[in-house]
A and B are shown apart, each in its own frame.
Chain A
């Protein structure tokens, strides 16, 4: 993803609004995927993203955006905080079952939650026929396993995975935005991938899966 240069920021400040539209079009879908992961409701996720872009625009126009800061870190901090603000506002709703705020105080609780989740996955997903070993690899099924996994993963994982894989943020940037240690970020990404690999290798014949991946 191309970074937004200080020159573009200056041109927006001078009134080239079309450049801001370009920024919106570049980032909107990926940022929306992140807010949707947090809020789990399309309408609220869009509202939150609108608010984030509005805050960004105001920050640019009032010169409170420091060009020294990396744009993506600055932008995703706004996106994340706007989503968290809205989440807190509608916290009474039952669209979320786990604490999505990850900080030093609760990240070990998050690890505990993830362990519970992993054992749940072991019990449910592996016990069905769909995940029996030696199965012939079919394109749709591999995707299905990945989809099921990504969609059922707790927020303590999915927010980080989303930032890393989809929004191309570095471990350090994620750590800065979520205010958690870099080690926790790396650990969660590593464990999530290992778990997914494990799921795939248990579900399919190893050689066939590797052959399929070469294609």
Chain B
């Protein structure tokens, strides 16, 4: 019994000492430097993310307020080729169509009714993406 214990103890200790390998002398220093760098990057990322958030919110706000102002100023002007029909969507469609025709008229462009639908679609997609990104995916930039 004692014999077996001696052997086992010897083997356990021998295996332990045989398997032990040393890291390089500057391992801890390098690691702590990397941790400090990651902290700095994390702070920078937070700042960038905050700035990006402000920019996106500002941009969307500017678009929405411009649209509201333009609707208020130019609304009600209808396109003779596309008569107004009943319902909320038709009203919005008419307003936006009127505004865009006015704006693009100033720029010297002639656009069809479909173009307005595309623009509305793109705007809707941007808004949806922002909502999903923020509240559903809860993406973090940290």
Q: Write the residues of chain A forming the contact surface with B, with a CB cutoff of 8 angstroms.
A: 17, 20-21, 24-25, 28-30, 32-33, 36-37, 46, 49-50, 53-54, 57-58, 142-143, 146-147, 150-151, 161-162, 165-166, 193, 196-197, 210, 213-214
Contacts and interface: CB of A to CB of B under 8 A. Distances in A.
Nearest to B10: A213
B38 A54 contact: yes
Given A210-B3, A213-B7, A150 B28 contact: no
A30 B20 contact: yes
Nearest 7 A-B pairs (CB), nearest first? A33-B21, A165-B15, A213-B6, A32-B23, A146-B14, A166-B19, A213-B10
B37 to A, nearest CB: 10
Contacts of B27: 24, 28, 32, 46, 49-50
Contacts of A210: 3, 6-7
Contacts, number: 79
A197 B11 contact: yes
B72 interface: no
A185 to B, nearest CB: 15
Given A147-B18, A165-B19, A213-B6, A196 B32 contact: no
Interface in B100-138: none
B18 A150 contact: yes
B12 interface: yes
Interface in B14-36: 14-16, 18-24, 27-28, 30-32, 34-35
Q: How large is the interface on B (under 10, 10 to 19, 20 to 34, 35 or more residues)?
A: 20 to 34
B100 to A, nearest CB: 48
Contacts of B23: 28-29, 32, 46, 49
Given A146-B14, A162-B19, 14 more contacts: A17-B35, A21-B28, A24-B28, A28-B27, A28-B28, A32-B21, A32-B22, A36-B21, A46-B24, A50-B27, A54-B38, A146-B15, A196-B11, A197-B11
A169 B139 CA distance: 37
Interface of B: 3, 6-8, 10-12, 14-16, 18-24, 27-28, 30-32, 34-35, 38
A151 B20 CA distance: 12
20 contacts: A17-B35, A20-B35, A21-B32, A29-B23, A33-B19, A36-B21, A50-B27, A50-B30, A50-B31, A50-B34, A53-B31, A142-B14, A143-B14, A146-B18, A165-B19, A193-B8, A196-B11, A196-B15, A197-B11, A210-B7
Nearest to A212: B10
A57 B35 contact: yes
Contacts of B11: 146, 193, 196-197
Nearest to A51: B34
